[in-house]
Structure 1
Amino acid sequence: MSGEDNNCAKINDVFEELCRQLSINGQVADISEKFSLLNSNAERVKFASELLEKYALYPEILHREKDDELSAKYRQEGNNAFKRKEDHTAWRLYTKSISYATNNSECLALAYANRSAVLYEKKLYKQCLEDITNAFKNNYPKRLHGKLIQREERARELQLSETTDRYFERPSGLKEANRKIPSASAKVEIRRTKALGRHVVAKRKIKIGEIVVVEKPFVSVLLKAHLQDHCFACLTLRYSTIPCDRCVYAMFCSRTCQQQAWEQHHKYECPMLATLYGMDVSKMTLAALRIAFVAKKHYYDLDKYNNDNDGGAIYKSQSYEEIHTLEANTHLRNSSDLFPKATTAAVVRYVADRTSPSFVSEFSRDDAAIIFDELLMHHQQTAATNFHEINECAEDEEGRYVNTSEIGAGAYAFLSLFNHSCSPNVVRYCHGTEIIVRAIKEIPADGELLDNYGYHYAVMRKADRKRELQRQYLFNCECEACVNDWPLYKNLPRSSTVDKSYDMPELESIMMGDRAEAIRILTFLLGGHLKTVACNTMPEPNKLLADFQETIKQCYALLGNRKPRF
């Protein structure tokens, strides 16, 4: 969020320095052997902790307090940018001024008022009025009331004609909910085989475009780059954010989100953020930490959570048991994978002990700290292969919505059961933090539902896909596209048996963000045109079917999270 933390030792630097010290002292082989013999995650974290202490490598604890002097500095810089008509820069600096201002101070009120001027210029009248309200609530100087009241009156008039541009459209939802999997369609079920483990299969035929999953995350985390313009709790795009009352990092869309986040996890992580952000701790580690906080009421139930005990049970996305029993693949990981994770967990635990000791002290048993270490390490492993990106479709400089950008990550229990294919038959979209999964191919009864983990046959060569999937997800891909070595998109054949009337619809209006046109095209394609095309063209892979699938994906993406240029 700011440049103040640039001089802090990074988490990767700490690990590299530890390895250097071990090498200098001729201990690499001995330490590696001892580490490989450890049986539990907590033992691994303790082992790394002792080494960090031995070599004095624990980081300096950083503090970023509210500071009216800094707040005034950022506000003045914002004023200068606003005079230059650099609206985005001015908005960013005013938001920074808000985050640093002390509670109920004149500095806070002035920053809100000044930011409202930017939002007024950007025609975001509703959010402008929210900032004006917050300025008055925080002792805005009476000598300046007149000008702000005038802006408020103009904004109220203009708000009536303000075009409502929702961050995302609410989907229709599941047509028929699954009794055993509340987040899934009744047309799917979880099966288990020795070869595939737990996986998701169609009980009945699923049509193209059908929603098969609507799932909320157990926890989600916001990327550091989006702290100012998205809610720290619900990740919604917001330009009139309000700050955490204590730290200078978390910003919220409402008091409700602020209070819920505080009760669930932020009261523990709040004093840790300066150090963790300063060290560039990864989003997956931050997600693991948040799970360790949110799951505290389950600390003494972990022995009951058996990965094999799922017969007949209801699979609940919001249940910690489902998150805890996601595959960590510890048995497939070597020391070169586990040792950095243990070192990171040890550092995070050290920061927690020195900035947020109240968490462990809330427990009546002495082993709470050990369980905390266990979960930090465990969920760093489950995160790497099971957590999902939360993204938005962002408008580029040319006014086009052609790419998605990551804003955060979430722990989605049911989605994590979907296996990968380099030619998937489902696709994911984000509506807020909720993920919607739709079929992009017709899936027959007993057919497996297959997601894509970021490596698609159309844009990446087989050898590269297989290498990256093995590195990140620890499996050798044997999907249809890999087994048959499907060509890249540019080398795909184009069917010559299809009449010209089946050409791909004009996509320019979709790329320019026209949601109404996206809905019209989806209605046209899913209303029978795509089936006609499929019946009159050669089997996959071919360029025409790939084009139609991409059209469907772009249309649905536009109905999800969408960020216009500011």
Structure 2
Amino acid sequence: MEHPVQEWQNYAYNKWLHLPSDDKNKFSTASDLTESFMVCWAQIQQEEEDVLERLCCDLSVKKEPRAVLFYKQEGNKRFGRKQYTAAAALYSKAISHASPHTEEMAICFANRSAVLFHLAHYSVCIEDIEHAQEHGLPERLKSKVLQRQSECLERLKISDPSGGVFPKAEGVDPSKLHNTGKPEVLHLKSNTQLTNAACSLQLHTSSPKGRHLKAIEEIKQGEVLIQEDAFVSVLIPDRNTLSTKRNWDTGITNCELYCHHCLERVIASLPCPYCSFAKYCCQHCMDTAWRQYHCTECSLGEALLTVGVFCQTALRTVLVAGSNKVSELICRIRTSSVQDVTPSQQEVSASGAKYSSDYEAVVNLLPHVEHHKVEFRFLCGWTAAALCKKLCLNKLGEDVGALSLSEKHNMSEDERKCGCSSEPVVFGTAILRHMLQLHCNAQAVMVLQEEQEVPYSSVESQKSSRIATAVFPILSLLNHSCDANTNVSFQGRCATVRASRSIQKGEEVTHCYGPHKLRMSVRERQKLLKAQYFFTCQCDACTQEFASGDTSTDFCCPKCSSPLKGEDELHCPNAACEHRIRKDQLLLQLQHLEHTVSTTREKLQSNHIAESITMLKSCLSEAKEFLSPNHKILGEIYDQLAQAEASKGNWKAAGVHLRRSTRLVELQYGSSSLELGHELFKLAQILFNGFEVADALNTVVRAQQILSMSYGTEHQLVRELQEMKTCLLQLPGI
């Protein structure tokens, strides 16, 4: 989803291959990104506009009146089956397609209010009733809906005699009623160099490392180092569900579950009045998004889905920054020999200025022009030019659309000096720059989502899911390590960086970009980092692994169970065995096993418990024949067996399996890892339900320690653990 749809990529690559040699040479040797953008802009003709328009037709964000009835009927079906969460999501889809101030929209709000009442979301239910009335609720439904409103007020033990706005009487912020939680507000002691950072950090600059952060005092494990709101963030869409080539999709994606502005979880979204795609948790987020960027993006909906998340994030960055700031900084970059618009460490110290989480910091992130393949640079420039052309056409008649970028005789003297020709070329250059930056500086926003593995299971299973791409200028200062000393958690648009272990004074503060020593071999990590981030990692973990020369694998000898070693052909180091086998043969066997395990997960979700247990035990036997005893897939099998047994109420058997899974997770990810914390959370639930009081209490305490270090004490999981602990401590004999 980061990059354009494949057909556009193919079209751009073909265009590059057939580009006249003079233009190709001009693009390849361009001294700055404005020149590169101008080459691409000159190539965008009517044919290219038609291709983009055709691809846009395959994706739709328009309001479709027929979809209102479809999603309303599907919502009614789920409501009749008492599947209230699914019904709420489908009514929300119907609302997103309905036109404001119509009976259809009013009825959909009224229907959703009924669902919210059954889910005990009484505050939000009342809001939906108010929306239904605003959009023209039919008289025939008013008595039933107003009765529901009265019942909500009664349930909340609130009287509303004056007819005032209900949420104010409840004493909470009405703009956040839809959210499931807020980031814990942490008042960091002011850092003289950096905004949003603890005073224990200091900005440094060096030739090999660039800008980076070091500890100027000892930092304790769990200490908060950075808490930063994203400069921009974009929810990752599922293009398949928006395709016009499919029937309307009843599946629920992250775009239905999260606010498109603040990224908070939402149970009852408010739609954009003009498109069916953008949805918000409250009127405040909707108004803010419209003012900052959606007023421009709304009419580009299908085009933004076509050109991909990186291009949309780049455009949104420009829109949020504003044309004046973008023009000032892009022109300054072109006229500066240093190519640096953000204060250096020395400049910060001398002037008292701060490195801030603002557009200056964003625009100064390295685009790594010299490292990107020329074909990729052309794809980015070509896409930026096509988007700017469409933006110009959408604003036809305004100055931004009236100026041809090639008409330099119309430029002012100042514009000639910096080479910028009003908004289109500045915006295009900035979008191109940000697209190249995002390749190395985009931050995936990850959240924990409940995984409904087994219906009616008493054990919550959660998985980490990527919901958005964002830009965090301060967080981007952290260099990579394959064994980083921090971890990052997200609440909405806010990233919180905590120390994952003690950090000594003078030690660099690092962040793992993805490849971790406990998850990948050193060669896999090096290959990935070089391809995406253009550097050869020399962290302590990589240095030590290369020095050891260990070629051990995750496979074991099928004859004697010794760990196999080697690269393409693996060999058993046991002198009495010396068995050899090709690695690709074992990889194929592993792939087949992974597919079977995935199939059993689907059967668990469909409540085929007995069949799932039989299949999982067979998978376990097969895995033990050729995989290391610590292989992660064994942990997945044990985890699923625990879920299956728990669904039958066999808590003792479930506990045995989950203890084994927990041990493997600890070996793979470490004793203070988030992964272990989540596994211990599930184990605590099973032990709690099985009345293994002493073990449950010990597990709760350990899970609480790990998760609070990563998420803080106010996180939902930590609070649930505290509730379990309180309950256990009240039992006799404890």
TM-score norm. by structure 1 comes to 0.81
Distance 2:180 2:193 in 1: 31
Cα distance in 1 between the residues matched to 2:678 and 2:302: 50
Change (3 A) 1:561 1:243: farther
| Equivalent of 2:354 in 295, 307, 315 | 315
Whole-angstrom distance in 2 between the partners of 1:192 and 1:510: 45
Q: CA deviation at 1:260?
A: 1.1
CA apart distance, 1:236: 1.0
- Structure 1 residue 402, shift from structure 2 partner: 3.9
2:419 maps to 1:391: no
Alpha-carbon distance in 2 for matches of 1:518, 1:221: 41
Change (3 A) 1:340 1:317: same
**Which digits, 9 at most, give the CA deviation of each residue in 1:158-188, with x for residues without a partner?**
34699x9973454351442212212000010
Check if 1:140 corresponds to 2:137: yes
**Alpha-carbon contact 1:429-1:560 (below 8 Å) kept:** no
Distance in 1, matches of 2:103 and 2:318, equals 38
Pick from 424, 430, 434 the counterpart of residue 484 of structure 2: 424
Task: Answer yes or no: is 1:131 the counterpart of 2:159.
Answer: no
CA RMSD of aligned residues (A): 3.8
Structure with more helix by fraction = 2
The equivalent of 2:325 in structure 1 is: 298
Count of residues in Structure 1 that have an aligned counterpart in Structure 2:
518
CA distance in 1, matches of 2:74, 2:10: 38
Is 1:110 aligned to 2:150, yes or no?
Answer: no
In 2: Cα distance, 1:360 partner to 1:474 partner: 36
Q: Which has the larger displacement, 86-95 or 344-353?
A: 86-95
Q: Distance in 2 between matches of 1:383 and 1:390?
A: 14
Give 1:404 deviation, angstroms: 1.3
- What CA distance in whole angstroms lies between the structure 1 residues aligned with 2:300 and 2:717? 29
Residues 551/149 of structure 1: CA separation in 2 closer, same or farther (3 Å cut): closer
- Tell me which amino acid in the other structure corresponds to 1:300: S
How far apart in 2 are the matches of 1:165 and 1:149?
Answer: 21
Cα distance in 1 for residues equivalent to 2:320 and 2:399: 11
Q: Go from structure 1 to structure 2 and tell me whether the alpha carbon gap of 1:50 and 1:287 turns closer, same or farther (over 3 Å shift).
A: same
Q: Determine the structure 2 residue equivalent to 1:14.
A: 8
Post-superposition CA distance 1:251-285 (Å, at most 9, x none): 111111111111111111110012322x2x33222
2:386 to 344, 347, 369: 347
Cα distance in structure 2, aligned partners of 1:231 and 1:28: 46
**What are the equivalent positions in structure 2 for 1:323-362 lying under 5 Å apart?**
323-356=362-395, 360=400
**Among residues 690, 703, 715, which one is paired with 1:559 in the alignment?**
715
Which blocks of at least 5 consecutive residues in structure 1 are unaligned?
A: 1-8, 526-549
3-state secondary structure, aligned to 2:434: helix
User: How far is 1:555 from its partner?
Assistant: 5.9
Change (3 A) 1:28 1:206: farther
Query: Quick one: percent identity of the two aligned structures?
Result: 25
TM-aligned CA deviation for residue 75 of structure 1: 1.8
8 Å contact kept, 1:401–1:511? no
Paired with 1:105 and 1:519, the residues of 2 have a C-alpha distance of: 54
Q: Which residue of 2 aligns with 1:48?
A: 40
Structure 1: how far apart are the matches of 2:46 and 2:223?
Answer: 57
Q: Distance in 2 between matches of 1:505 and 1:54?
A: 54
Taking a change above 3 Å as real, the CA distance of residues 361 and 354 of structure 1, as seen in their structure-2 partners, is: closer
1:120 is matched with which residue?
Answer: 117
Q: Is this contact kept in 1: 2:480–2:511, CA < 8 A?
A: yes
For the 8 Å contact 1:232–1:251, the answer to whether it is kept is yes
Aligned to 1:3: none
2:467 match: 407
**Secondary structure, aligned partner of 2:302:** helix
- Are the equivalent residues in 2 in contact too, given 1:440–1:552 (CA < 8 A)? no
Give the Cα–Cα distance (whole angstroms) in 2 for the partners of residues 123 and 35 of structure 1: 60
**TM-superposed deviation, 1:506:** 8.8
Task: State which drifts further: 409-418 or 40-49.
Answer: 40-49
Query: How many angstroms apart in 2 are the aligned matches of 1:507 and 1:439?
Result: 20
User: How far apart, in 2, do the equivalents of 1:286 and 1:18 lie?
Assistant: 18
Counterpart AA for 2:34 = A
Cα distance change on mapping 1:456 and 1:359 into 2, 3 Å: farther
Distance 2:106 2:178 in 1: 28
How far 1:387 moved relative to its partner? 2.3
1:181–1:376 distance in 2 versus 1, CA, 3 Å: same
Given residue 468 of structure 2, which amino acid in structure 1 is its aligned partner?
G
Would you say 1:286 and 2:312 are equivalent positions? yes
Q: Is the partner of 2:100 in helix, strand or coil?
A: coil
Distance (Å, rounded) in 1 between the aligned partners of 2:135 and 2:505: 60
Q: 3-state DSSP class of the match of 2:52? A: coil
Query: Which of residues 252, 256, 264 in structure 1 aligns to 2:292?
Result: 264
Q: Distance in 2 between matches of 1:341 and 1:179?
A: 37
- Contact 2:680/2:699 (8 A) holds in 1: no
Preserved contact between residue 400 and residue 511 of structure 1 (Cα < 8 Å): no
Q: Corresponding residue for 2:564?
A: none
Secondary structure in 2 matching 1:409 = strand
Aligned counterparts of 1:95 and 1:504: Cα–Cα separation in 2: 34
Judging changes above 3 Å, is the alpha-carbon distance between structure 1 residues 156 and 512 closer, same or farther for their aligned structure 2 residues?
farther
- List aligned pairs for 1:59-458, cutoff 5 A: 59-60=52-53, 62=57, 64-159=61-156, 167-168=180-181, 170-171=183-184, 173-224=186-237, 225-277=253-305, 279=306, 281-295=307-321, 296-302=323-329, 303-304=331-332, 306-307=340-341, 309-310=343-344, 311-312=347-348, 313-356=352-395, 360=400, 366-398=421-453, 399-458=459-518
Runs of 5+ in structure 2 lacking a partner?
Answer: 159-169, 171-176, 238-252, 334-339, 404-410, 413-420, 454-458, 555-629, 632-663, 689-696, 721-734
Amino acid at match of 2:485: N
Partner of 1:35, secondary structure, is helix
Larger radius of gyration: 2
Cα shift readout 1:356-380 (whole Å, capped 9, x = no counterpart): 5569369997521110011110001
Distance 1:511 1:59, change over 3 A: farther
- Are the counterparts in 1 of residues 12 and 382 from structure 2 also a CA contact under 8 Å? no
- Corresponding residue number in structure 1 for 2:626: none
Offset, 1:93: 2.5
| Amino acid aligned to 1:391 | M
Partners of 2:373 and 2:226 in 1: CA distance: 34
Instruction: Give the Cα separation in 2 of the matches to 1:340 and 1:383.
Output: 14
- Give, as a single letter, the amino acid of the residue that structure 2 aligns with 1:107: E
- Cα distance change on mapping 1:173 and 1:255 into 2, 3 Å: same
Q: Which amino acid aligns with 1:151?
A: R
Structure 2: distance between partners of 1:68 and 1:315: 51
* Paired residues for 1:396-545 under 5 Å: 396-398=451-453, 399-485=459-545, 490=630, 507-508=680-681, 521=701, 525=705
Q: 2:174 maps to which residue?
A: none
Alpha-carbon distance change, 484 to 28 in structure 1, aligned in 2, over 3 angstroms: farther
CA deviations on 1:433-487 (whole Å, 9 max, x unpaired) are 1111100111111100010001111011111111111111111111111111188
> Offset of 1:352 from its aligned partner?
1.6
Change (3 A) 1:561 1:352: farther
